[in-house]
Structure formats: C-alpha cells, structure tokens
Amino acid sequence: MKVTLRPFLLFAATLMAALPGFAQSPAVTSNLTAQRVEIANGKAVLSPAEKAKPGDMVEYSGTYRNAGTGSVDKLVATIPVPAGTTFVAGSAEPAKAQASTDGTRFAPMPLMRTVRLPDGTSRQEPVPLADYRYVRWEVGTLAAHADTVVKLRVQIDAAGGAVAASKP
C-alpha cells in the first residue's frame, strides 16, 4: 500500500490557515513541504516525498515568512499530524513544542492523560504517539522580512496498525 502525500499537503496548508493563532497578519505566509527520510551511515538523507509506504518516515517542514514592514507578535506555528501516521518522538524542531490530540487543547510533550484503574484510583500515563494530531510552536515575534522554520517527523502506519515510532 502506498500513501499519496500531495492531497495532505494541500489539506494541511488550508488547515493551518484556519487554526486559531495562525493567520495573525496578512503579511505572514506559510509553506509546508514533505520529504522522505532515509538513514544512511547514521545520517538523515532527505528526498522529495510524493508517495510513501508503510514504515517510511516523512519530515514535514513549515516555513513561516513575514513579508510585511513591521514585526508580527504572538505568532503560533502549527503542523497537523495526518491520520495514518505516527508522530516520531523527539523529532520536533525547535524542541520546545506542544502537541494536541484534538487541535484545541495543547500541552508540552510528552502528552499525559489520567487513566481510571479498576480499583477506582487513577494515574497519569503517556498518550500514545499515534494519537498526536497536531504539533505547535509559540514562535513569538517574527521580525519584518524574516522567516522561521518548524519541523516534525512522522512514520507511515502499517496497514494493520501503527508502526512503532523511532527516534530520528
């Protein structure tokens, strides 16, 4: 089974523009790219990604550019994690990112949830990486004519379930 990434990229660009905090200024533009990641001699090698198969790793890179003449404050950059993929732990750049399972509530990674145990008590446990649907960065101020880049990696899930995510 192969997954075509082009429809996701078009969807992601539209979705990012609709997310709260994204389009604070008409001067800010975004460009989302996807590249396949292969590890060769212990180093990541990126290549164009139009199609991917289960187990492949893909890096999404969002470039946000302020083409205006003034700085933009409180810029928040968000990249959706597509269904059928699993976020790769430790792959968010810059590292100080937040994640969400619903696109509304964000928290620092790793995401935690409260689980009720059979004896009535509860405990905190990590949310599975396969449940992450968005990663965002609070960029802050973006100066005039400046840009910033945020990145994350996902692994394409196997046909029968999620592929275990590995570190980049």
pLDDT in tens, the chain (168 residues): 444 554 444 444 433 443 444 444 578 999 999 999 988 898 988 988 888 889 999 999 999 999 999 999 999 999 999 999 999 999 999 999 999 999 999 999 999 999 999 999 999 999 999 999 999 999 999 999 999 999 999 999 987 544 443 344
The three-state (H, E, C) secondary structure of 21-53, written as one string = CCCCCCCEEEEEEEEEEEEECCEEEEEECCEEC
Query: Cα angle vertex 107, ends 103, 108, to 5°?
Result: 130
Contact in structure between 7 and 34 (CB atoms under 8 Å): no
Facing residues of 84 across strands?
none
If you ran DSSP here, which 8-state letter would residue 105 be given?
-
pLDDT at 51: 80
Extract the tokens encoding 35.
Answer: 């590249």
pLDDT at 166: 39
pLDDT at 116: 95
- Measured between its terminal Cα atoms, the distance across the chain in Å is 23
List of long-range contacts for 34-41, beta carbons under 8 Å, 24+ apart = 34/5, 34/8, 34/9, 34/58, 34/59, 34/60, 34/61, 35/59, 35/61, 37/153, 37/168
Q: Taking the model in full, what pTM does it have?
A: 0.77
Cα distances from 87 to residues 24, 60, 148, 154, in angstroms, run 27, 11, 21, 4
Give 108's Cβ-side CA count (13 Å radius).
2
Task: Report all structural domains of the chain as residue ranges with CATH numbers, in order of start.
Answer: 3-156 (2.60.40)
